[in-house]
Amino acid sequence: MQVKMDAAELNRFMQDEFPQVAAQFRVESVTPMAAEVRLLVDDMHLRPGGTVSGPSMFALADLAIYAVTLGMIGPVALAVTTNCSIDFMRKPEAGRDLIGSARLHKLGKTLAVGDVLIRSEGSDDVLARASLTYAIPPNR
């Protein structure tokens, strides 16, 4: 399978279609069936105790699967999350961006299924693991 949108194209797409969140994330890379997305951690992402909040980590996982899905199918703004399960395993270190490494296991005509491993920048320790399914609209 060939990539239809690279990281630069996805970042432009996010800025055009989702400017309300685009500044918080950066697509780092897209390869066939995989992508890496960075959450640019700021005070808005922190919860009491100085750690990154669960909703911020969920957003990273969701955007990472969205990025790899669009990377493979092209600019389809109306692809949507239909299911997500996330396991939080470790507390993120304060002051470090988070990296979501996404991979698709199945890319069909109507569904994309994949998972995301979330790590702190520069660490191999997995903080969270998410499994997501995206619905792909017909007539894309």
Can you list the domains of the chain with their CATH numbers? 7-135 (3.10.129.10)
CA–CA distance, 3 with 8 (Å, rounded to integer)? 12
Torsional sign, CA 75, 8, 35, 45: negative
Q: What is the pLDDT along the chain (140 residues), one digit of tens a residue?
A: 899 999 999 999 999 999 999 999 999 999 999 999 999 999 999 998 889 999 999 999 999 999 999 999 999 999 999 999 999 999 998 789 999 999 999 999 999 999 999 999 999 999 999 999 999 998 76
pLDDT, position 117: 98
CA–CA distance, 80 with 95 (Å, rounded to integer)? 30
51: CB partners within 8 A, 6+ apart = 91, 92, 93, 94
DSSP class of residue 91 equals P
pLDDT, position 49: 85
pLDDT, position 1: 84
Contact 61, 96 (CB under 8 A): no
pLDDT, position 140: 63
pLDDT, position 124: 95
CA–CA distance, 20 with 32 (Å, rounded to integer)? 28
Relative orientation angle of helices 7-17 and 54-73, to the nearest 10 degrees: 120
pLDDT, position 83: 97
